[in-house]
């Protein structure tokens, strides 16, 4: 393989930490032309199996090569209705690109960048067309939650002819794509644009509807909905009762990111929602949410951002690419450290955190080495804000109103690999079934559930 | 019932009292009205730039599909809301959030205390609890008489109504704790409900916690803390219990046991955006002056 993998263009780190514009800039036409030549068009393509929604990767790459970009985007959309999103936030390095045959000796084909390129090309040239749909069958399906699982499920069912309504608790669609993932990683106009594709398919969106509060599943049944997909995510922030947790300046990543992303607090006072940051920010956790929080903090003007993570660099659950971006931007990392308490000043504002050093022990239930505190190794870090990003749990608001629905002892919905729950006509997928995972795995679950819902409804009506 | 994103239109707006800062609004929100009950609240976002603010549902009419809110101008969002008129639409209204109040027939009377704008959410609670056969003693308090409202409305759902003002311009001169202390020291009381400024709720909860020879009386306060989503997601509304436990006002409240709360920490938490709130308010007032609004 003489041709090297094309390198994603990026905003310079010293510049991008002062703006919320997208970090990665995509491939140019010339780069795409070179990159598609790298694909070997394998007879037995491994990449397709590496993709949770089984995009026909060699074929769309071949279509690009033949200069048929419209054909390429149509091909992708047969499998994935949200390519501009997936091209950006999927962890391709552990999915399709990891499976790419080239990765055995060289670098894999930049599949994600190519997917993004065709999706962006379609959007920028306003060539979006309504994907093919079956004739309407007037059977109503309710999708609860408009995150990646719900959107995918909605799209597949709409294409199969169903009358689909998506119910969203917030005032905007996209779930974690709009409240969680920051603008510089996934511009919100792209999410809106992908949602517009669903609207073209006839999918209706009902915002400000908390199912379990504004309406219940029983109300929806009375309104004529015949099947339900629950994709409400895992929204409750984990918080530990440790000393100083109630100090001002200590907040969850959910609050921090929702203020910044959904409520656009970075535009205060043009937007009314405030966000307080200070000079030195510590972020507790090692996942994508921790990195997103750290990088938002930098862009809000923090002088120093320190990520405190209890395991080492190798065990960080965050995407490698995002970790490198964060390092480039100057985020500091204190690995093998865990907070023991937060200390405040006389006005009740956090000013320091105390952390204890950790060492790695035997693997725990997650398969990663268990972090063990090293006695008497505590030290202090000065800071003005502490952002807690140690994970999320299931939100009971909906499940509480369907007591017959089987859940695990942690409150996650019990569903089989096709999203089937113990209740007839009720399906579930995404984080509310698996616990926190990725956008694409939620999309995969939404797709499988759509197939199962279609089979179920076909058998009944 | 139809769906399809209906606009949240302001059907009626009236000024309450004579302060020029209190307003009652009826909002067209049939789905919320259909599920609303005493204790529930809503979150609203007035316009695209707006923040999400929690407001307790003060009344509702299921047949007409409306919910009633009462607001007091304290910052930009409430001032902006007070500038909306009948026929205007609020961009987003979501609810009903939080838990319904617990209804039971108690052995002894219930004292319901409303402080300032907190009088409004007392109304549905008094109404429901009285319908369940309870004797209701209402205490309405404010700085001055211009800030007292719903006298008749509260009287219509109370067996006894006491008014008190700090400046003595109406009723008893002093804080709501003055008549409360008298009542709990002389008669048996099953429950105290207090809704109003945080400091008032703190003082009420202290008085009923079994201090100075006084009996301990179960006390429920209504927390309307800073929040974003109202469904347990952001953690912004969290309040500390005296034992350090973390509670979320949005999903565990808004009505919670006043005796478990560490009010001092909570009072401080509610100040965490004060400088931003002031900046926002001042900028908007300047804009109003320029545009001759209000």
Please give the residue of chain B at the shortest CA–CA distance from A248. Answer: B269
* Contact status of A209 with chain B (Cβ, < 8 Å): yes
Check residue A362 and give its pLDDT: 92
Beta bridge pairs of residue A349: A248
In the block, tokens 């319908």 appear at B131
Separation CA A413–CA A428 (nearest Å): 7
CB of B46 closer than 8 Å to CB of B105: no
Q: Which residues of A touch B89 (CB under 8 A)?
A: none
Separation CA B62–CA B59 (nearest Å): 10
- Model pTM above 0.90: yes
In the block, tokens 């268990």 appear at A370
Give A183's DSSP letter.
T
Question: What strands lie across the sheet with A204-206, from one edge to the other?
Answer: A204-206, A163-167, A140-144, A225-230, A426-428
pLDDT class for A440, splitting at 50, 70, 90? confident
Average pLDDT, chain B: 95
Question: What strands lie across the sheet with B41-45, from one edge to the other?
Answer: B53-56, B41-45, B92-97
Residue B104 to chain A, least CA–CA distance (Å): 22
* Crossing angle for the helix pair A288-299 and A320-328, to the nearest 10 degrees: 30
- Which of A236, A254, A271 is facing B49, going by the closest CB pair? A271
Q: Which residues of B touch A396 (CB under 8 A)?
A: 232
User: Is the predicted pLDDT of residue A227 greater than 90, yes or no?
Assistant: yes
User: Is the predicted pLDDT of residue A357 greater than 90, yes or no?
Assistant: yes
Check residue B1 and give its pLDDT: 46
Check residue A2 and give its pLDDT: 79
Which residues 6+ apart lie within 8 Å of A61 measured at CB? Answer: A36, A39, A41, A72, A109, A111, A114
Q: Which of A124, A107, A20, A106 is nearest to A69 (CA)?
A: A124
Cβ A255–B236 below 8 Å, yes or no?
yes
N- to C-terminal Cα distance for chain A?
54
Cβ A276–B273 below 8 Å, yes or no?
yes
pLDDT class for A132, splitting at 50, 70, 90? confident
N- to C-terminal Cα distance for chain B?
37
Average pLDDT, chain A: 95
Distance, CA of B217 to chain centre: 21
Check residue B4 and give its pLDDT: 59
Q: What three-state secondary structure class fits A45?
A: coil
The ipTM, to two decimals, is 0.95
Q: Which residues of A touch B251 (CB under 8 A)?
A: 397
CB of A109 closer than 8 Å to CB of A5: yes
Check residue A1 and give its pLDDT: 67
Separation CA A398–CA A392 (nearest Å): 16
Separation CA B286–CA B284 (nearest Å): 5
- Backbone dihedral angles phi then psi of residue B177, each to the nearest 5 degrees: -70, -20
**Phi-psi bin for A177: left (phi > 0), alpha (psi -120 to 50), beta?**
alpha
Length reported for chain A: 461
Cβ A272–B76 below 8 Å, yes or no?
yes
* Contact status of A18 with chain B (Cβ, < 8 Å): no
- The bridge status of strand B110-115 relative to strand B191-195 is parallel
Separation CA B94–CA A208 (nearest Å): 5
Check residue B3 and give its pLDDT: 59
The b/e string for B61-96 (b: 16+ C-beta within 10 A; e otherwise) is eeeebbbbbbbbbebbbbbbbbbbeeeeebebbbbb
Separation CA B74–CA B23 (nearest Å): 12
Check residue A417 and give its pLDDT: 94
Averaged pLDDT for residues A267-280: 95
User: Is the predicted pLDDT of residue A111 greater than 90, yes or no?
Assistant: yes
Tell me: the pLDDT tens digits for A58-90? 999 999 999 999 999 999 998 888 899 999 988
Q: Count each helix (H run) and each strand (E run) in chain A, helices first.
A: 18, 18
Check residue A294 and give its pLDDT: 98
Q: What three-state secondary structure class fits A62?
A: helix
Q: What three-state secondary structure class fits A31?
A: helix
- Which of B45, B240, B251 is facing A171, going by the closest CB pair? B45
* Torsion over CA: A21, A22, A23, A24 (sign): negative
CB of A415 closer than 8 Å to CB of A421: yes
Count Cβ atoms below 10 Å from residue B244 Cβ, excluding itself. 14
Check residue A112 and give its pLDDT: 96
Separation CA A9–CA B30 (nearest Å): 51
User: Is the predicted pLDDT of residue A103 greater than 60, yes or no?
Assistant: yes
Q: Tell me the C-alpha to C-alpha distance, in Å, between residue B145 and each of A38, A150, B173, B188.
A: 80, 53, 11, 29
Q: Which carries the bigger pLDDT value, residue A368 or residue B220?
A: B220
- Which of A165, A262, A397 is facing B231, going by the closest CB pair? A397
Q: Which of A121, A25, A115 is nearest to A77 (CA)?
A: A115
| Token pair listed for A65 | 């090569």
User: Is the predicted pLDDT of residue A374 greater than 50, yes or no?
Assistant: yes
Helix, strand, coil percentages (3-state) for chain A, rounded to 5, are: 40, 20, 45
Task: Give the distance between the most distant pair of CA atoms in chain B.
Answer: 58
* Contact status of A246 with chain B (Cβ, < 8 Å): yes
Q: Where are the alpha helices (DSSP H) in chain B?
A: 30-35, 76-82, 119-131, 151-155, 177-186, 198-207, 249-252, 263-269, 274-291
pLDDT (tens place) for every residue of chain B, 294 residues total? 455 567 899 999 999 988 899 999 999 999 999 999 999 999 999 999 999 999 999 999 999 999 999 999 999 999 999 999 999 999 999 999 999 999 999 999 999 999 999 999 999 999 999 999 999 999 999 999 999 999 999 999 999 999 999 999 999 999 999 999 999 999 999 999 999 999 999 999 999 999 989 999 999 999 999 999 999 999 999 999 999 899 999 999 999 999 999 999 999 999 999 999 999 999 999 999 998 886
Check residue A367 and give its pLDDT: 85
Please give the residue of chain A at the shortest CA–CA distance from B91. Answer: A171
Residue B6 to chain A, least CA–CA distance (Å): 9
* Torsion over CA: A446, A452, A453, A455 (sign): positive
Give A135's DSSP letter.
P
Separation CA A311–CA A335 (nearest Å): 6
Residue B240 to chain A, least CA–CA distance (Å): 7
- The bridge status of strand B66-72 relative to strand B59-61 is antiparallel
């Amino acid at each position: 393989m003489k041709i090297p993998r094309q390198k994603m263009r990026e905003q310079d780190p010293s510049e991008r930490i002062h703006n919320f514009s997208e970090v990665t800039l995509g491939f140019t036409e010339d780069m795409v032309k070179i990159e598609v030549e790298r694909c070997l068009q394998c007879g037995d393509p491994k990449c397709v199996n590496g993709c949770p929604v089984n995009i026909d990767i060699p074929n769309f790459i071949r279509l690009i090569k033949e200069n048929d970009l419209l054909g390429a985007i149509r091909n992708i959309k047969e499998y994935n209705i949200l390519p501009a999103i997936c091209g950006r936030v999927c962890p391709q390095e552990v999915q399709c690109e990891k499976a790419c045959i080239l990765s055995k000796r060289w670098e894999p084909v930049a599949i994600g960048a190519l997917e993004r390129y065709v999706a962006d090309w379609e959007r920028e040239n306003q060539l979006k067309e309504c994907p093919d749909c079956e004739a309407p069958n007037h059977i109503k399906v309710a999708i609860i939650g408009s995150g990646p699982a719900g959107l995918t499920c909605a799209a597949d069912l709409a294409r199969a002819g169903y009358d689909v309504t998506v119910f969203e608790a917030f005032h905007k669609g996209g779930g974690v794509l709009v409240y969680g993932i920051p603008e510089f990683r996934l511009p919100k106009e792209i999410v809106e644009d992908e949602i517009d594709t669903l609207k073209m398919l006839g999918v209706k969106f009902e915002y400000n509807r908390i199912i379990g509060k504004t309406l219940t599943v029983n109300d929806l049944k009375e309104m004529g909905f015949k099947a339900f997909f629950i994709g409400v995510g895992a929204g409750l922030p984990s918080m530990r009762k440790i000393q100083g947790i109630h100090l001002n300046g200590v907040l969850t990543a959910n609050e921090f990111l929702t203020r910044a992303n959904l409520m656009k607090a970075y535009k205060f006072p043009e937007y009314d929602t405030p966000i307080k940051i200070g000079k030195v920010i510590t972020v507790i956790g090692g996942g994508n949410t921790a990195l997103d929080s750290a990088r938002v903090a930098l862009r809000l003007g923090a002088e120093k951002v320190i990520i405190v993570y209890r395991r080492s660099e190798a065990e960080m659950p965050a995407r490698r690419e995002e970790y490198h971006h964060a390092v480039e931007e100057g985020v500091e990392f204190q690995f093998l450290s865990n907070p023991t308490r937060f200390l405040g000043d006389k006005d009740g504002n956090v000013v320091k955190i105390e952390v204890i050093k950790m060492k790695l022990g035997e693997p725990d239930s997650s398969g990663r080495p268990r972090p063990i505190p090293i006695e008497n190794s505590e030290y202090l870090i000065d800071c003005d804000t502490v952002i807690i990003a140690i994970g999320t749990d299931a939100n009971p608001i909906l499940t509480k109103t369907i007591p017959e629905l089987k859940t695990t002892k942690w409150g996650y919905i019990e569903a089989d690999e096709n999203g089937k729950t113990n209740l007839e006509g009720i399906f579930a997928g995404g984080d509310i079934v698996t616990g926190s995972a990725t956008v694409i795995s939620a999309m995969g679950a939404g797709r499988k559930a759509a197939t199962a819902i279609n089979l179920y409804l076909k058998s009944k009506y | 019932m139809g769906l399809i994103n209906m606009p949240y239109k302001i059907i009626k707006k009236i000024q309450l009292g004579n302060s020029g800062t209190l307003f009652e609004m009826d909002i067209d929100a049939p789905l919320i009205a259909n599920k609303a009950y005493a204790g529930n609240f809503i979150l609203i976002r007035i316009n695209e730039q707006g923040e999400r603010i929690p407001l307790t549902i003060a009344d509702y009419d299921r047949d007409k599909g409306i919910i009633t809110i009462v607001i007091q101008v304290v910052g930009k969002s409430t001032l902006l809301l007070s500038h909306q008129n009948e026929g205007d639409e609020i961009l987003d209204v979501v609810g009903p959030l939080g838990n319904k109040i617990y209804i039971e027939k108690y052995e002894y009377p219930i004292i319901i205390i409303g402080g300032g704008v907190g009088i409004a959410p007392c109304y549905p609670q008094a109404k429901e609890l009285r319908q369940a056969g309870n004797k209701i003693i209402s205490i309405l308090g404010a700085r001055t008489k211009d800030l007292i409202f719903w006298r008749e409305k509260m009287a219509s759902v109370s067996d006894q109504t006491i008014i008190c003002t700090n400046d003595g311009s109406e009723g008893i001169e002093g804080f709501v704790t003055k008549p409360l202390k008298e009542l709990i020291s002389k008669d048996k009381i099953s429950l105290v409900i207090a809704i109003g400024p945080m400091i008032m709720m703190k003082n009420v909860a202290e008085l009923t916690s079994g201090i100075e020879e006084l009996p301990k009386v179960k006390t429920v306060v209504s927390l309307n803390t800073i929040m974003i989503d109202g469904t347990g997601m952001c953690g912004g509304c969290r309040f500390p219990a005296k034992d350090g436990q973390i509670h979320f006002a949005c999903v565990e409240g808004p009505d919670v046991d006043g005796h478990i709360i560490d009010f001092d920490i909570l009072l401080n938490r509610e100040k965490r955006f004060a400088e931003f709130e002031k900046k926002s308010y001042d900028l908007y007032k300047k804009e109003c002056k320029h545009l001759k609004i209000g």
